[in-house]
Amino acid sequence: MQGRTGDHACVLQVRDLHVTFKADGESAEALRGMNLDLRQGEIHGLVGESGAGKSVLLHTLLNLNRGASFVRTTGRVLYEERNLLELFEPEIRRIRGAEIAIVFQEPAKHLNPGLTIEEHIRDLLRYHLGVTRRPAGARTAELLELVELPLRVLRQYAFELSGGMQQRAMIALAIACNPRVLLADEPTTALDVTVQRQILELLLRLRAELGLSVLFVSHDLAVVREVADRVSVLYGGKLIENAENSALFDRALHPYTELLLRSVPSAAMRGRALNVIPGTVPDATAVPPGCAFHPRCPIAAERCAIELPELRAHHEDHSVACFFPGQLVEPAGRQG
Amino acid sequence: MTPFVSVEGLSKTYTARSLLRRSRAATHAVRDVSFAIARNTIMGLAGESGSGKSTLARALVHLDPPSSGEVRVAGIPLARLGRRGLRKARRRMQIVFQDPHGALNPRLRIKYSLGEALANAGVPRRERRARAVELLRLVGLGPEHLDRYPRAFSGGQKQRIVIARALAGKPEFLILDEPVSSLDVSIQAQIINLLMDLKQRFGLTYLFISHDLSLVSYVSDSIGILQDGRLVEYGPAEQVLKQPRSEYTRALFDASPAMHRER
Amino acid sequence: MPSLRFFLGKLGRLIATIFAITSLVFIVLRVLPGDPARTIAGLDADEREVAALRAELGTDRPLGEQYLSWLSATARLDFGASFFHERPVVDLIRERIPLTLSLSVAAFAGALVLALPLGVAMAVRRWGAVDYLGMGFSHAAMALPEFWLAILLLLGFAVLLGWFPLFGAATPRHFVLPVVALALSRAAVLVRLVRSSMIEELDKEYVLAARAHGLPEPRIRYRYALRNALLPVITVGAIQFGYLLGGSIVIEQVFSLPGLGRLLLSAIYRRDFPVVQGGVIVTAVVFSGVNFIADLLYSAANPKIRMR
Ligand SMILES: Nc1ncnc2c1ncn2[C@@H]1O[C@H](COP(=O)(O)OP(=O)(O)OP(=O)(O)O)[C@@H](O)[C@H]1O
Ligand SMILES: Nc1ncnc2c1ncn2[C@@H]1O[C@H](COP(=O)(O)OP(=O)(O)O)[C@@H](O)[C@H]1O
Ligand code: SF4
Ligand SMILES: [Mg+2]
Ligand SMILES: [Mg+2]
């Protein structure tokens, strides 16, 4: 299976990942056999509607699941030839934040209300790099410069900063220890468009300057289209399509991806009804058998309700999990 | 043609009151905003968070009385109406808010939520059930949903119910404040289509508020852009999209990621 | 540190509270129906005696005038002289208050020392063995009245085992049992608060983020979560200190400790009004002062408030 990625160097590989929770006594399988390759230096967009399992995936990559409702994780997360899910706490702790870092969706909630930005950064430097006060000061200043924040921010608390500044601070924390991989969970969803633009540009610049590999999670197709090199689509806890950016947006093969793209409103669609996917996203406690999309799929056949389509390479560098890839017909009047 | 809704010099100022000092700081949430919406058209209103969109919506229907300015709906100045007149007039204009989860009382079955709205609209008790079924049908739900509680519905279904409830008094004017922002992409399209369909069928007029410029471009006949409470851009959709007058509008459109690049 | 404005605001509130308390005491004792002079003199006293007493107490003067002189006397800590001890009330209080305060402070410290680590341990391993034991302790200690607990301790450790002296305040060992009795009751309340507040903090996103940053678990618990979890504990802690002051009245009685509580209680039996007045005011002032300190601590620990 690992051979499939061929000559591309992968920093992070996810293999047959299953994550189960308990919700109201029912078992909820949030991830149902995820496979994913994050290649060196790429921005990998991961799109999916709410509940598809995007956040669960990111948390699982760093083995962060816990709490009363968490049941179990199976599968492998391979990083530098080690399965992160099998590491002992002290080992994975050295990786978290230092080699693989996360940026969260709501920076206000993910920053400690009782600590200044400087205290946040100091803690990270101290625990991962053993850096003491003086050199930390220099690194801290450097970090702020990287994310384009004024130095005064150091002595401020998260609630004193605007949403955009909070997210910049969050990113400064994430890159503080020079990680190889950045996991970004909807990093711009809570922000205004102009601020979103700045943050996206910041991420692109940091990728180039620091050689980061980024897993960029979002429910916003337009944002992913703008920043990602490759795009994966998540539905019902599984990857259903994976391709290079333009391949996915121009020639989507999975009916869900195609319908999702068609349902996005734009000025060009004025006066015409939007294309609609009937029904709703499945809940993790009740994912339909067979192809999870079959109750909503306009071209579903009998076998779709019974057999599970595996993610397969349809052609070079474009995989899809569907028995009838690319067979959803173009609606009348859709301009190419 | 006289516009169905007209707004002249509308302002809303909030003064923070503290015990000791009378007023510390005044927030000019909406400043001197004027526009008009023709019957059975949609005005889209966009702007960044805190720009005053929701405040404008509330001031427009006098839920929060405006600090100054005049609002006319169907030629009637709302400020001249007494409290009872305003209540009657409000049936003809309804607000649908962003968060459908908070909009429905979690302890009331759907039929009571709808029944309450129908009662407010003066529908006699005997007819309410039939009307409730009809309302649900309008938004694509069935009579079997009447006896359920809100928690049994998905976000999209809840928003349908909220829209059904807004339609109870046969309004002519709906203010939709971020009606799909909290919904999934695939569900957003369903709700937007529903809203467009209802508009055609009942000749409704909308003020459609959203921070999503693609969406605003798609639905609107005219577009207004708010910045710091000021309407910095206002005109027919075509013109605003093609040749925006204000620099800010251009910046906003440039910043917003778009699936389909038209220009 | 809290801003000067914040500090002055709180100080103003403290002074206003103390003013309100003294006024309330005046209202209860002088204005409400009933004649203090008659009450003091007793039912069998004749009219002349009562009138003389009124003149001595000043209760025959107009209310406004009485109020003003009461205020100015109170401000000078002049609560009059005890009928029974025939000494200034201030002196009596001054003699007794160190014992009560040290009893309360020691018990409060003991309660915190017990409640903080236990509450954190319970929150970290929710529904684990420690959690159940802690809950059992909390339930039991809350169900038992303080004096009952005190008597149990006396029976067990003083009478049966003989480890500690029975009564009096001669040596520090005399204080162990009363402090333990008071501390256990307060810890029972505080431990629950620490637990629930800590559980709430541990579920917050910033804790997840701290883990995602690879910080060690103890650091996350104590430096991150506990620090924020303590905010509500500070507020409730101040109220618990008030309970301690009240609780010491009973405990001093059980252990025959010559504290403020015992002074007050016997003054009530003896209808020694000046002592009761003085005692109530001093206790209330101490309680307000503790709340004032708690407010300052709260603001020092909470940057959001500090900024305002
Ligand atoms: N009740 C109020 N009291 C004081 N200030 C208020 C009040 N309501 C709104 N404001 C202020 O008015 C301004 C406009 O707020 P409003 O809620 O209308 O923004 P909005 O454009 O709807 O933003 P969003 O996109 O975040 O919903 C803001 O600065 C806000 O803080
Ligand atoms: N702690 C949890 N307990 C129970 N269910 C959970 C938990 N975390 C996530 N889930 C479920 O897993 C699924 C995926 O969630 P999530 O990854 O948060 O979705 P998203 O793609 O929106 O980020 C959802 O159905 C969610 O309800
Ligand atoms: S496998 Fe079948 S149901 Fe699933 S997407 Fe493909 S065609 Fe539709
Ligand atoms: Mg998520
Ligand atoms: Mg709003």
* Cα separations in angstroms, B51 against A193, B28, B177, B192: 13, 10, 13, 23
Angle between helix C227-254 and helix C273-301 axes, rounded to 10 deg = 160
In sequence order, what DSSP letters do the residues of A94-136 get, joined into one string?
HHBTTTEEEE-S-HHHHS-TTSBHHHHHHHHHHHHH---HHHH
* Cα separations in angstroms, B216 against B44, B59, B238, C62: 5, 21, 12, 75
The answer to which of A127-136, B37-46, B216-225, B229-238 has the lowest mean pLDDT is A127-136
Give the model's pLDDT for residue C254: 84
Tell me the pTM.
Answer: 0.83
Backbone angles phi, psi at B227, to 5 degrees: -140, 120
pLDDT higher than 90, residue B134: yes
Give the model's pLDDT for residue C213: 95
B47 lines ligand 1 (CB under 6 A): yes
pLDDT higher than 90, residue B2: no
**Contacts (Cβ under 8 Å, ≥6 apart) of C73:** C79, C80
Q: Where are the domains of chain B?
A: 5-262
| Alpha-carbon gap: C108 to the closest alpha carbon of chain A (Å) | 25
pLDDT higher than 90, residue B100: no
Give the model's pLDDT for residue C72: 86
pLDDT along chain C (308 residues), means of 10: 74 88 80 66 75 75 82 84 84 89 92 94 90 92 84 85 78 85 91 94 94 93 90 87 83 86 85 84 87 85 68
R_g (Cα) of chain A, nearest Å: 21
pLDDT in tens, B142-174: 888 999 898 888 888 899 999 999 999 899 999
pLDDT in tens, A186-197: 999 888 888 899
CB count within 10 Å of CB C249 equals: 21
Atom of ligand 2 nearest to the CA of A57: 17
DSSP state at residue A158: G
Q: Residues enclosing ligand 2, CB less than 6 A? A: A 21, 23, 28, 30, 48, 50-56, 67, 69-70, 283-284
CB count within 10 Å of CB A288 equals: 14
Ligand that lies nearest to the alpha carbon of residue B45, given by its number in the listed order: 1
Contact A267/B at CB under 8 A? yes
The whole-angstrom distance between residue A308's C-alpha and the CA centroid of its chain comes to: 24
pLDDT in tens, A127-158: 998 887 777 788 899 999 999 899 999 999 99
Give the model's pLDDT for residue A1: 36
Tokens of residue B25, six digits? 């700081």
Name residues 116-175 of chain B within 8 A of A (Cβ): 154, 156-157
Contact assessment for residue C306 and residue A155, using Cβ atoms and an 8 Å cutoff: no
Give the model's pLDDT for residue B246: 94
Domain B5-262, what architecture? 3-Layer(aba) Sandwich (3.40)
Q: What CA–CA distance (Å, rounded) separates B139 from B162?
A: 10
Grouping H, G, I as helix, E, B as strand and the rest as coil, residue C279 is: helix
pLDDT in tens, A286-315: 899 999 999 999 999 999 999 999 999 998
Number of H helices, E strands in chain B: 10, 10
Q: What CA–CA distance (Å, rounded) separates B93 from B97?
A: 13
Give the model's pLDDT for residue A25: 82
Atom of ligand 2 nearest to the CA of A50: 22
Contact C208/A at CB under 8 A? yes
Which listed CATH number (3.40.640.10, 1.10.3720.10, 3.90.79.10, 3.40.50.720) goes with C96-272? 1.10.3720.10
Q: Number of CB pairs < 8 Å for A and B? A: 106
Residues of B4-38 as b/e, b for ≥16 C-beta within 10 angstroms? bbbbeebbbbeeeeeeeeeeeeeebbbbebebbbb
* Cα separations in angstroms, C34 against A173, C46, C269: 70, 16, 18
Please name every residue paired with A44 in a beta bridge, in sequence order, or none if there are none.
A215, A230
Please state the rounded mean pLDDT for residues B187-195.
Answer: 92
Give the model's pLDDT for residue A110: 94
* Cα separations in angstroms, B205 against B4, B60, B241: 8, 14, 21
The enclosing H or E element of B255 equals: helix B247-255
> Model confidence at A6, in pLDDT bands (50, 70, 90)?
low
pLDDT higher than 90, residue A40: yes
Chains with 3 or more CB pairs under 8 A to chain B: A
Give the model's pLDDT for residue C225: 92
Give the model's pLDDT for residue C277: 84
* Cα separations in angstroms, A34 against A91, A111, A232, A239, C124: 24, 30, 11, 6, 31
CB count within 10 Å of CB A5 equals: 14
pLDDT higher than 60, residue A251: yes
